[in-house]
Chains A and B, each alone.
Chain A
Amino acid sequence: MNSSRQPVPHTAPQGLQLESALALLRQAGQGEPDAPTGSPAWLQAVIDRLVDLSSRDPLTGLSNRRFFELSLAREVDRVARSGESALVLMVDIDHFKRVNDSFGHAAGDLVIQAVGQALADTVRPMDLVARIGGEEFAVMMPNCPAAFGPQVADRVRHRVARSPVTLQDGRQISVTVSVGGAFAPQWVRSTPSLWMQRADLQLYRAKNSGRDRVCLEPSFMPQVSAEEKGLLFSSSTWQDLE
Chain B
Amino acid sequence: MAQEITMLHDVARCSACRACMVACKQWHDLPADMSTSFEGQYQSHKDLTSHTWNLIQMQERIDSKGRFHWDFFKKQCMHCGDPACLNGCPEEAIEKKPSGAVVINEDKCVGCGYCTTNCPFGIPKVDADRNKSTKCDLCFDRIEQGMQPSCAKTCTADAILFGTREEMLQKAEERLRMVKADHPDANIYNPQGVGGVHMMYVLPEKPAVYGLPETPATPSSISIWKDFVRPVGQLASVGAIAGVLGLTALTAMRRKGDK
Say whether A and B bind each other.
Answer: no
- B residues sitting closer than 8 Å to A (CB atoms) are none
- A residues sitting closer than 8 Å to B (CB atoms) are none
